[in-house]
Amino acid sequence: MPYLVDCLASVEAQTIAPDRLEVIAVDDGSTDGTGEYLEEFADQSHLRVTVIRQENSGGPSGPRNVGLGLATGRYVFFLDADDRLGAEALERLVAMADKAGTDVVLGRVEGVNRNAPQSMWRRTVERADVFSSNIKFTLSAQKLFRRSLLERHGMRFDESLYTGEDALFTMEVYLRADGVSVVADYTCYYLVGRSDGKHVTQSGHYTQRFDSARALTRLIAELVPEGEKREKLMVRPFRVTLLPQFGPRYLEDSEEVRRHKCELAGPLLDAYWTEGLARRLKVHERLRLHLVAARRPDLLLDVVEFVAAEKEPPVRLEKRGTRVYFAYPHFRKRRARVPDVVYLAEPPEARGVPGYREEEAGAKAAARAKPSVKPKPSLLRRVVRKSRKWRRSRRPETVGGRTS
């Protein structure tokens, strides 16, 4: 409360036929009148509403699992009590799922006094690919899921996680789903910022972030074989969950907490930090995680301070413009011994540097990748060789120095 009032009003305003909709509201031990308001809503609403009241579970996984266990519809949608739906949201999402035959549909999200994901809403897509699109960067639970898929695989939210439980659930659904759709031309979900700032995703002990990262990386490793596809997905937990622990807040941590964070991150980096994954990060992101992986906290603090101050690193353009290095702290310092490749910008980041020559860089990379083989002889040379062979074959053989 009071956000729940607008939330339920947005449910009643849905344009989908009322007989196609059931509402299951789980009051997870609230103390602000939520339970009473839910029961009043159920009595007065024209919708089918079931209200469950239970002891507080400590997180969103428990109540979501309760609701999921009671759901009977073809699809389920998880709506947080402080957010709200666009009036046509459910109608449009269900229509897309039925049309495309997909198991998950993402509806455009708009933030209200709060940031919301943006990169995946450029266009409506009937079938999106989790490996080549940005849908991996929206792993919240506020999506339309085909219930039969969830039941077939016994998928539920992990109640041992205080935060990141939705990322784990949604990533698994993405990977098991028969297709994912995106509705980008209509705002389906309004992500509302609370005035008290008490969002679960913005609170919690730092160790819980590492629990979340550990669970998500383990899931990806279990479901996706080693290689490029796995590295593409690993960008999500490393950039979104792990990297912020070595951002500005790291400067405010005590020496003991800094040491503990490096200890928690070490096994994750040992297991999943690869050259391919490193190349998919920006230079300052890659550099920080490289130093954590290399157990170099003595160098890490300088880099974090530099990045937190939003300073621009000196740019080194080399190899006739085909290589761009961002000279963050410790670049080519003999005592630091950080390899140059850690500071080397990949094309997406290097393109913003005047004088960068991407085409030539690509051509050189391709040339380096070619196997070492002899060049094919020209057509003229091949003709000459065949002619010589033919002439030799026509010469008479000699026996004992005499022509036979």
Mean pLDDT within 265-281: 96
Provide the pLDDT for residue 358: 87
Question: Rounded to whole angstroms, what are the CA distances from 19 to 14, 143, 276?
Answer: 12, 21, 50
CB 59 within 8 A of CB 159: yes
- The residue whose two tokens read 């992101």 is 285
- The secondary structure of residue 179, as a DSSP letter, is -
Residues with catalytic roles: 166
Q: 237-258, pLDDT tens digit by residue?
A: 999 999 999 999 999 999 999 9
Q: 126-166, pLDDT tens digit by residue?
A: 999 899 888 999 999 999 999 999 999 999 999 999 899 99
Q: 12-48, pLDDT tens digit by residue?
A: 999 999 999 999 999 999 988 889 999 999 999 999 9
Nearest to 92 by CA among 177, 187, 12, 6: 187
Q: What's at 126, amino acid-wise?
A: E
**In this model, does residue 368 exceed pLDDT 70?**
no
**In this model, does residue 107 exceed pLDDT 70?**
yes
SS (H, E, C) 10-63: HHHCCCCCHHHCEEEEEEECCCCCHHHHHHHHHHHCCCEEEEEEECCCCCCHHH
**In 58-202, where does DSSP find H-type helix?**
61-70, 89-100, 147-152, 165-176
First to last CA, the chain: 112
Query: Token pair of 348, please?
Result: 């997406």
Contacts of 206 (CB under 8 A, 6+ apart): 245, 257, 261
Q: What angle do CA 263, 267, 272 make, to 5 degrees?
A: 140
Average pLDDT, the chain: 88
Burial class (CB in 10 A: 0-12, 13-18, 19+), 218: middle
Q: Count, in order, helices (H) and strands (E) of the chain.
A: 16, 12
Range 307-329 burial, b when 16+ CB lie within 10 A, else e: beeeeebebbbeeebbbbbbebb
Phi and psi of 357, rounded to 5°?
Answer: -115, 90
Provide the pLDDT for residue 204: 62
**Given phi > 0 = left and psi -120 to 50 = alpha, else beta, which region is 25?**
beta
